[in-house]
Structure formats: structure tokens, C-alpha cells
Amino acid sequence: MYPSSLSARITLLALLSASTFYFLYKSRRRKNLPLVSFNPNGDGSLDALSRRRGKLFFISQAGTSRALAGRLFSRLASNGLPFDLVDPQSYEPEDLSKESLVLMVASTWEDGKPPENGRFLANWLGESAADFRVGSLLLSRCKFAVFGIGSGAYGSHFNAVAKDLSVKMRALGAGEILPLSLGDVDKGDVDGIFDIWSEKLIAVLKGVEDSGVILENGVGIGESENESDGGFESDEDGESGGETVVVDLEDIAGKGPSRKSGAVAQINGKANGTREMVTSVIRTSLEKQGYKIIGSHSGVKICRWTKSQLRGRGGCYKHSFYGIESHRCMEATPSLACANKCVFCWRHHTNPVGKSWQWKMDDPLQIVDTAIELHTKMIKQMKGVPGVTQERLSEGLSPRHCALSLVGEPIMYPEINALVDELHRRHISTFLVTNAQFPEKIKMLKPVTQLYVSVDASTKESLKAIDRPLFGDFWERFIWC
Ligand SMILES: Cc1cc2nc3c(=O)[nH]c(=O)nc-3n(C[C@H](O)[C@H](O)[C@H](O)COP(=O)(O)O)c2cc1C
Ligand code: SF4
């Protein structure tokens, strides 16, 4: 390690981290901006955003939703509201952030899943909504409405897809201009319900057109997000607008490990506990969020930028700054635990916490092997996705970079140096992010390709409030780093 170059790097990265938070803060402030104007005719008086034609998606397998969407398409057109009728299979979901108006007619198939043509779009929305880095304002310029087709015979899966689309669009900041409406093919009244919904929709859109802006008090607008209306149903599964389920290790697995328990042994001078860090409850929760758990304390997840660049789209900031190819980057951590309970942590606070390593320890080579295996499996699943070429897919299958930053605190893992060595041995560069609570570990750390220190606050008080650190001397630790 070269102290002077290291401290220069840390300073630079701390600055970058601070500016990232500044931009996040700025983007959050956009929530307070007035709603964007929309005119589906796209006359010259409107801004560039609203000149984009509305999109009417049909998510359909056997044709019912497709036929209904076609009917709506004609009705919209005859009311002077031209839309593009879109098969989501030939649509790039990244473009959703540019849309100002989206309508979806979606059916539900086996086990509550979407028909084939809407699978990628639905997954993309789900993953983006669950990804902390995407933010809740991605679709803040977009207004939308969803109509669902399903069968009540499928019980809890009734219209699961339409319900989920509505939840995820809202979670990403899109505004629902009309409450979700659900048709039941077994009741034989789908056409009637759809017609009522279409009429309301056209009234809303014409109201929009008349005023030239989306009015917060326009027909249905402003009521739609939480209220149900006659035959219209609002989503009640509580995923958006409802409370986030907060599960802490201390709540789900009893109290945190006791330092006095004697359960930690030393093996080759390294702490090695008897308990597994990831309990079955934590595992289930993390897996639901898309993490692949490795052994008992590590994880890997395919990053949205990896997928984006596999499809020939943009990469993450490392691509912009250093030319790193995001589709060849693997995101992993050897410790899902950390010593903070940051208020912004994106793991719904299912993270195990501790001030030192208390858990059973897995072998570093095994972790690297499994991480690459699971990562490449996820890459293979991208085969056939629009935009993914064979060349990029093969490149993605041999990762060249590893972001040790997924969640938790990678340097808590006692064998972090061996793990970094193994990655370098395989010609994989390492980007390690630490939360500045383990200065002694930083001192012991072998050189990594880049070391990032998260700077979450600028004063002792604000750091305590934001990171909720476990260490009493958290500020001294932080300042040292
Ligand atoms: C094999 C199968 C599975 C289905 N699963 C569900 C389901 O889980 N939930 C639901 O609400 N409807 C379910 N349905 C009902 C369909 O949503 C309904 O038949 C709809 O009209 C299909 O729309 P599409 O023609 O646009 O594909 C299922 C239908 C079939 C044939
Ligand atoms: S340090 Fe990272 S992993 Fe730990 S709570 Fe904070 S954000 Fe989450």
C-alpha cells in the first residue's frame, strides 16, 4: 500500500461520494416541481418531453388484452388522441424514463406471471423499483393507467400482473391518472368494465388536452393513487405507499451475537464463529430482492448497468470515468454484515450487524468460484433479450472487474486480502467500498484497484443520525479513514 497515493485516492473518492449525494439530493428536490404538461397531439407549444406520443402497451398471450388494447387504440385515435400501440417485446424499457404517458392493458398467466411478451418489461420494472440506485423518481415525468385482464378463479393471483405493474410504476415515481381497473374473464363483464374504464380515461385525457396540462384536480387525477372508485380497484398489497417491512437481524434472529458468548474461535489467527451470518429468514428476504447468496455470508447480484451494457446501452459511472465495461463487471460482497444501520440502506434492514466478525467463515477461493459461477448464470439468462449480441454475451461471461460493494462491509471479512488476491490472480480488477468504520482493516488491506470510502455526512451528529453506527467511537474511526 502506498500511503500518499492512497490518501489522495481516498480524498478524491470522498469528494466524488459527496457530489453523488449532492446530485441525489438535487434530484429528490425535483419531486416538488410542478407536473409536466402533456398534449398527445404534440403541438409546437409543448416542451420536448411532451411531444413524445403516448404509448399503449398490450401484455397478452392468447390475444384478449391485445384485442382490447386495439379497441382502445382506435377509440383514442377517433377522439384525437393518437398513441403508439406497442408490443413490449419490441420496446426498450430504459426508454420509459422519456415517456410522458403510458397505458397498459395486461393479462396474467400461470402462477400470476406475465405473458411472454411482457416478461422483460415487468422484470425490468420490478428490478428497477427494488434497486436503491435507480431511485424513486426515475419515471416521475410519466403518467400512466393500467387495465388488467385475469380470472378470479386464480384466487390470490387474480390479475397479479396488472396490480404489480401499477405498484412498480408508482414506486418509480410515475403518476397514476386513473385507478387500476381489473376485468374478470370468468364473470363475463370484461367488455363492459373495459368500456367504462376507457371512457373515463378518454375524459381524463381530453381534460388534459383542453387545459394543456395535467391538472392535479382533473377527472380522476389526484384521486387515483390510493382510492378505489366504483368498479375500479386500487392495489392493496401495500408495496407502494404502504409501509416498508423493516426486519432487523435483532428482530428476526434474536439478539445480535454476544461478544461474551465464546462462540468465536481463532483459526490461523482469524476469527471463526459457529453461527451462520445469513439465517434462513435473511436468506429468503435477500433472495426476494434478487441477491444470490454464496455460502453463509457472501452475495452476488447482477447490476442493472451490467444488463444495460449487455444490451448495448449505457454503462455505470465507472464506464464514463474509467472506461470500464459494465457488462464485464460483477458486483459482489464477502460480508453481508456491516457495523451500521444506515437509514438509506436498501436492504430493507435485513442486514446482519456486528462490530467484529462473529460468524462462521467461508473459504475465499470458494467464494470467488461461486460468485463467478452465479454471476455467469445470471448473464446467460440475458440470452435472447433484445439488444444482447453474442459478442457482448461472451464478454460478459468472463468478468474482468469486481465491485466489492454490493451491500454490507466487505473488509469485515477476515480473509478479504486472500479474496482480493484471488480476484487479481484471475485478472479481475477490484473496486472496494468501505463505510469508514474499520480503520485497522484499511491499514491491513492489500492494494485494491480502487478504494472508495462512503462519506454519508459531514458532522458527527449528522453521521450518527444517518448511519446509526454501532461503534461508540464511530466519528474517530470515520475521521481516521
Ligand atoms: C394457463 C392459464 C393460467 C392463468 N393464470 C391466471 C392467473 O394466475 N391469474 C389471473 O388473474 N388469470 C389467469 N389466467 C386467466 C387469463 O388471464 C385470461 O384467460 C386472459 O383472458 C388471458 O389474456 P390474454 O388472452 O391477453 O393472454 C390464466 C389463464 C390460463 C389459460
Ligand atoms: S454501511 Fe452499507 S450495507 Fe451497512 S447499513 Fe449502511 S448502506 Fe447498508
CA proximity to 160, closest of 104, 232, 112 = 112
Q: Count Cβ neighbours within 10 Å for each residue of 285-314 and write b for 16 or more, e otherwise.
A: bbeebebbbbbbbbbbbbbbbbbbbbbebe
What is the domain partition of the chain in residue ranges?
A: 3-27+244-480, 34-211
Q: Does any ligand 2 atom lie closer than 6 A to the CB of residue 457? A: no
Cα separation, 72 vs 182, whole angstroms:
15
Predicted pLDDT at 425: 97
Cα(108) to ligand 2 centroid in Å equals 36
| CATH class in words for 34-211 | alpha beta
Cα separation, 405 vs 288, whole angstroms:
19
Q: Does any ligand 2 atom lie closer than 6 A to the CB of residue 345? A: yes
Which residue's CA is minimally distant from atom 6 of ligand 2? 342
Cα separation, 273 vs 103, whole angstroms:
53
DSSP state of 275: B
Cα(444) to ligand 2 centroid in Å equals 21
Cα(344) to ligand 2 centroid in Å equals 8
Q: Assess contact for 118 and 87: CB atoms under 8 A.
A: no
Predicted pLDDT at 210: 41
- Ligand 1 pocket: which residues have CB below 6 Å? 60-65, 107-110, 112, 115, 149-151, 154, 157-160, 185
Q: Say what the alpha-carbon torsion angle 156, 161, 162, 164 is, to the nearest 10 degrees.
A: 90
Predicted pLDDT at 180: 97
470 contacts: CB under 8 Å, gap ≥ 6 = 339, 340, 341, 353, 354, 355, 437
334 contacts: CB under 8 Å, gap ≥ 6 = 297, 298, 364, 367, 404, 410, 413, 415, 416, 419
CA proximity to 300, closest of 406, 435, 410 = 406
- Cell numbers placing 189: 363483464
Cα(249) to ligand 1 centroid in Å equals 39
pLDDT digits (tens, 9 = 90+) for 373-394: 999 999 999 998 888 999 999 9
For Cα atoms 18, 127, 317, give the angle at the middle one, nearest 5 degrees. 35
Cα separation, 222 vs 215, whole angstroms:
8
Cα separation, 45 vs 41, whole angstroms:
11
ipTM of model over 0.90: no
Amino acid at 130: A
- Give the end-to-end CA distance of the chain in Å, rounded to a whole number: 14
Cα(136) to ligand 1 centroid in Å equals 30
Low-confidence ranges of the chain (pLDDT < 70): 1-51, 132-135, 208-273, 346-351
pLDDT digits (tens, 9 = 90+) for 297-343: 999 999 889 999 999 988 888 888 888 899 999 999 999 889 988 88
- Cell numbers placing 475: 466519528
CA proximity to 304, closest of 453, 463, 129, 53 = 129
Cα(369) to ligand 2 centroid in Å equals 25
Q: Does any ligand 2 atom lie closer than 6 A to the CB of residue 407? A: yes
Predicted pLDDT at 353: 82
* Count of residues in the chain: 481
CATH code of the domain occupying 3-27+244-480: 3.20.20.70
Q: Assess contact for 430 and 448: CB atoms under 8 A.
A: yes
| Interhelix angle 364-380/416-425, nearest 10 degrees | 50
Give the position, in ligand 1's atom list, of the atom nearest the Cα of 111. Answer: 8
Predicted pLDDT at 239: 28
Which residue's CA is minimally distant from atom 19 of ligand 1? 150
User: Which numbered ligand comes closest to the C-alpha of 338?
Assistant: 2
Phi, psi dihedrals of residue 330, rounded to the nearest 5°: -110, 135
